[in-house]
């Protein structure tokens, strides 16, 4: 294990240029960007910074932001437009819907605005009293109540939202002329904000399937510009609740336009056990090889963390993982159905990755071989994920003295109080350039990772020939791409008698906490078809030693809750290591992913209490240990 390495080994550098083995399967990614990421260096040269042909810096962004174009966001008084969302992401100061000046600490590199496809732009027209819509009694009633405000207005917004996610969009809002005009406004905003090489404004939308209150939403992401995206109208739940029909739409889009598109499965915390099924909800039969093949073709990524909770692991499923219970949202769905523990295995990423190995053994293809990414799911037009700069789920949960105790959502007996909201998350892509095309391609090959907000720089490579000295190199990509595969890649077979080695490095966000540790999470399928998991501490700060059960003691805590401050007197600014799997079995399918964890820092609730001089209830969490999750690397015998 290396902490804050200071040495650059020239002898190692000069060994990089032969035997490149970066061989991610890109057969399904056509039209790669200008550079070919399969060749780490174009030619041999003295300078380690010249002739590089691999991703050099993570590009930060958010795949899931809503604006005034989304029915629910506008109903909750959001007035920021897609253009405003892009301006904010680029680093400009804007005024929030609640009238508060707001700016990011640092610009993002890219953004996807994903307004709900059902009745996109419709609530603006309802609230404004569009004469063509006021002829419909239901829409007129919503108009009157929402403009009146108070509880009647809130009830009307909820009623409208449930109507639309129930697939009962009024026909007047489904007219092609209206929909095409709104969609072209959305894509035009992205075109106007897009500046290749500096900022990528990516076209997208959210398909909002919620059968029986179970969240099966998908964010649809385009590689293309408006010239292709405008050729088809977005798919809606008024057409189908079934994800398989969305996949057909994606296929139809590519066939008609020659473009590329993907879907990202929404965080599954309120899906009540049907996001990663064994039994297809559409047929009540076991999923088939065709289902598995089609799903992973169109859904290469999963939204593992966001405002509505973290979805990496759950303590019920991973009782020996002391970090599994992080910002869990596990009380029920949007249909007022309480959560049952039997549902958890079909909602959390780690268990889905494990179950995917079982399906692959039976079906010949893994439907849940996804990469991990994070997003905000902000309904404010503001992609905020920093604890000290958090603007909430929607306009009525923007910073104010009472938002911690004001319900962010209430559906009958199902209540989500304000303090439940999570200031999360972002995605970092290892793309070769800042363009729509390069970012999309990196997503496709799963060279992407999630964080809960901090901009932790995370590298993760797997191979057979990494050595301890490889962790001494200042830029792990120099050796990682030459001797192995990056996150999202595959290790197949391997030399007889050798266990895979992993090169891992994490560097702290300069504005956030130091690093506590890096862990590798392994999941595997044994010879009897049973899945297992194990968490390995592979690099950590300080001189801590594992106890008899293999657990490291906690890193400590420097947080002053009353003043919402901490000190980086514990932890490390950087951790790097090479780790070999000590329990490797060459006959067993497995996956590995890295989890980098910060020291404790103040949660957004602590900043809120300090800034507004409020005393919150004792049960309100005031600390957090932010983290980053890499996409996995899979081993196949």
Q: Are residues 402 and 544 in the same domain?
A: no
Q: Are residues 412 and 315 in the same domain?
A: yes
pLDDT tens readout for residues 358-387: 999 999 999 999 999 999 999 999 999 999
Per-residue confidence band for 173, with pLDDT thresholds at 50, 70 and 90 = confident
User: Does the pLDDT value for residue 476 go beyond 70?
Assistant: yes
Element (H, E) at 491: strand 490-492
Q: Are residues 292 and 399 in the same domain?
A: yes
Degrees to nearest 5, angle at CA 14 with 13 and 17: 100
Range of the domain at 530: 2-51+458-636
pLDDT tens readout for residues 246-274: 999 999 999 999 999 999 999 998 899 99
Percent of the chain with pLDDT over 90: 77
112 assigned to some structural domain? yes
Q: Say if CB 602 and CB 559 are below 8 A apart.
A: yes
303 assigned to some structural domain? yes
Q: Are residues 546 and 592 in the same domain?
A: yes
Q: Are residues 410 and 307 in the same domain?
A: yes
Burial of 51: CB neighbours in 10 Å, binned 0-12, 13-18, 19+: middle
Instruction: Reduce the DSSP state of residue 148 to 3 states and report it.
Output: helix
Q: Say if CB 374 and CB 426 are below 8 A apart.
A: yes
67 contact partners, CB below 8 Å, separation of at least 6: 73, 78, 80, 81, 82, 84, 85, 113, 115, 381
DSSP 514: P
Average pLDDT, the chain: 91
pLDDT tens readout for residues 585-623: 999 999 999 999 999 999 999 999 999 999 999 999 999
User: Does the pLDDT value for residue 34 go beyond 60?
Assistant: no
pLDDT tens readout for residues 198-246: 999 999 999 999 998 889 999 999 999 999 999 999 999 999 999 999 9
Q: Among 410, 429, 448, which residue terminates a domain?
A: 429
364 assigned to some structural domain? yes
Rounded distance, CA 130 to CA 121, Å?
12
Region for residue 244 given its phi and psi (left: phi exceeds 0; alpha: psi -120 to 50; beta: otherwise): alpha
Q: Are residues 266 and 118 in the same domain?
A: yes
Q: Are residues 386 and 518 in the same domain?
A: no
Q: Among 376, 408, 429, which residue terminates a domain?
A: 429
Rounded distance, CA 508 to CA 612, Å?
29
SS (H, E, C) 573-602: CEEEEEEECCCCCCCCCEEEEEEEEECCEE
The phi and psi torsions of 519 (rounded to 5 degrees) equal -120, 155
Instruction: Reduce the DSSP state of residue 263 to 3 states and report it.
Output: strand
451 assigned to some structural domain? no
Rounded distance, CA 550 to CA 320, Å?
11
Rounded distance, CA 555 to CA 557, Å?
7
Q: What is the pLDDT of residue 164?
A: 83
**Strand 279-280 versus strand 285-286 pairing type:** antiparallel
Q: Say if CB 372 and CB 449 are below 8 A apart.
A: yes
Neighbours of 320 (CB within 10 A): 12
Cα 394 to its chain centre, rounded Å, is 19
Q: Are residues 42 and 67 in the same domain?
A: no
Q: Are residues 243 and 351 in the same domain?
A: yes
Instruction: Reduce the DSSP state of residue 195 to 3 states and report it.
Output: strand
Q: Among 429, 450, 466, which residue terminates a domain?
A: 429
Tell me the average pLDDT across 544-561. 93
User: Does the pLDDT value for residue 2 go beyond 70?
Assistant: no
434 assigned to some structural domain? no
Q: What is the pLDDT of residue 589?
A: 98
Which of these, 103, 83, 102, lies nearest to 91 by C-alpha position? 103
pLDDT tens readout for residues 404-446: 999 887 777 788 889 999 999 999 999 999 999 999 999 999 9
Which of these, 287, 72, 52, lies nearest to 161 by C-alpha position? 72
Token representation of residue 406 = 């004001």
| H helix count then E strand count, the chain | 15, 29
Q: Are residues 470 and 532 in the same domain?
A: yes
Distances in whole angstroms, Cα of residue 28 to Cα of each of 25, 297, 444: 8, 8, 8
Q: What is the pLDDT of residue 407?
A: 87
**pTM assigned to the model:** 0.93
SS (H, E, C) 460-480: EEEECCCCHHHHHCCCCHHHH
User: Does the pLDDT value for residue 475 go beyond 50?
Assistant: yes
DSSP 41: B
Q: Are residues 375 and 341 in the same domain?
A: yes
DSSP 379: B
Task: Annotate 498-516 with b (16+ C-beta within 10 A) or e (fewer).
Answer: ebbbbbbbbbbbeebbbbb
Residue with tokens 């067993």: 588
380 assigned to some structural domain? yes
437 assigned to some structural domain? no
Rounded distance, CA 344 to CA 540, Å?
30
5-19, 62-76, 474-488, 531-545 — which is least confidently predicted?
Answer: 5-19
Rounded distance, CA 47 to CA 258, Å?
40
DSSP 626: -
Rounded distance, CA 565 to CA 610, Å?
10
Token representation of residue 494 = 């391997």
Tell me the average pLDDT across 87-105. 97
Which of these, 599, 581, 595, lies nearest to 541 by C-alpha position? 599
Instruction: Reduce the DSSP state of residue 167 to 3 states and report it.
Output: coil
Q: Are residues 221 and 253 in the same domain?
A: yes
More confident residue, 154 or 112: 112
Q: How many domains does the chain have?
A: 2
Residue with tokens 């079909």: 346
Q: Say if CB 199 and CB 435 are below 8 A apart.
A: no
Token representation of residue 194 = 């897009």
Rounded distance, CA 265 to CA 302, Å?
5
Which of these, 262, 220, 258, lies nearest to 117 by C-alpha position? 220
445 assigned to some structural domain? no
Rounded distance, CA 184 to CA 194, Å?
15
């Amino acid at each position: 294990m290396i902490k804050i390495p200071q040495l650059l080994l020239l002898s190692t550098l000069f060994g990089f240029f032969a035997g490149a083995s970066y061989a991610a399967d890109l057969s399904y990614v056509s039209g790669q960007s200008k550079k070919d990421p399969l060749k780490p260096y174009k030619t041999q040269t003295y300078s380690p910074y010249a002739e590089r042909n691999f991703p050099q810096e993570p590009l930060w962004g958010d795949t899931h932001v809503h604006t005034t174009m989304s029915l629910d966001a506008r109903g909750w008084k959001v007035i920021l437009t897609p253009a405003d969302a892009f301006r904010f992401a680029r680093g400009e100061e804007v005024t929030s819907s609640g009238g508060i000046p707001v700016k990011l600490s640092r610009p993002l590199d890219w953004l996807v605005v994903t307004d709900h496809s059902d009745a996109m732009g419709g609530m603006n027209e309802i609230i404004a009293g569009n004469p063509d819509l006021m002829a419909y009694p239901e829409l007129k009633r919503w108009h009157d109540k929402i403009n009146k405000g108070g509880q009647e207005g809130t009830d009307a917004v909820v009623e409208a939202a449930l109507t639309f996610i129930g697939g009962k969009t009024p026909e007047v809002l489904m007219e092609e002329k209206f929909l095409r005009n709104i969609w072209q406004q959305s894509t035009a905003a992205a075109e106007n904000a897009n500046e290749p090489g500096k900022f990528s404004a990516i076209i997208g939308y959210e398909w909002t399937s919620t059968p029986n209150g179970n969240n099966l939403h998908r964010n649809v992401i385009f590689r293309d510009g408006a010239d292709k995206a405008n050729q088809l109208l977005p798919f809606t739940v008024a057409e189908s609740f079934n994800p398989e029909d969305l996949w057909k739409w994606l296929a139809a889009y590519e066939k008609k336009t020659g473009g590329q598109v993907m879907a990202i499965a929404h965080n599954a915390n309120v899906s009540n056990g049907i996001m990663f099924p064994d039994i297809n909800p559409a047929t009540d039969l076991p999923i088939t090889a065709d289902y598995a093949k089609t799903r992973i073709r169109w859904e290469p990524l999963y939204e593992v963390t966001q405002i509505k909770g973290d979805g990496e692991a759950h303590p019920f499923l991973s009782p020996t993982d002391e970090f599994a219970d992080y910002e869990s949202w596990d009380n029920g769905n949007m249909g007022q159905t309480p959560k049952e523990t039997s549902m958890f295995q079909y909602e959390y990423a780690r268990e889905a990755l494990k179950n995917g190995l079982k399906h692959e053994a039976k079906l010949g293809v893994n439907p849940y071989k996804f990469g991990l990414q994070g997003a905000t799911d902000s309904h404010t037009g503001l992609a905020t994920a920093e604890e000290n700069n958090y603007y909430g789920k929607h306009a009525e949960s923007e910073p104010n003295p009472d938002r911690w105790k004001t319900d962010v959502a209430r559906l009958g007996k199902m209540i989500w109080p304000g303090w439940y909201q999570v200031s999360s998350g972002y995605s970092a892509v290892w793309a070769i350039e800042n363009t729509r095309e390069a970012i999309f391609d990196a997503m496709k090959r799963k060279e992407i990772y999630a964080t809960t907000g901090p901009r932790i720089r995370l590298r993760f490579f797997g191979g057979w020939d990494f050595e301890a000295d490889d962790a001494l190199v200042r830029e792990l990509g120099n050796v990682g791409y030459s001797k192995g595969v990056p996150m999202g890649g595959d290790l197949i077979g391997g030399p007889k008698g050798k266990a895979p080695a992993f090169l891992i490095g994490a560097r702290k966000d300069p504005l956030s906490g130091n690093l506590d540790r890096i862990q590798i999470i392994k999941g595997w399928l044994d010879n009897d078809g049973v899945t297992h998991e194990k968490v390995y501490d592979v690099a950590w700060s300080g001189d801590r030693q594992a106890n008899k059960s293999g657990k490291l003691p906690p890193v400590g805590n420097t947080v002053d809750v009353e003043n919402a401050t901490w000190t980086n007197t514990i932890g490390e600014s950087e951790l790097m290591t090479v780790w070999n799997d000590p329990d490797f079995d060459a006959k067993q399918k497995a996956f590995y992913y890295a989890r980098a964890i910060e020291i404790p820092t103040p949660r957004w609730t602590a900043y809120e209490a300090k800034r507004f001089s409020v005393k919150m209830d004792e049960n309100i969490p005031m600390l957090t240990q932010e983290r980053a999750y890499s996409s996995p690397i899979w081993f196949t015998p």
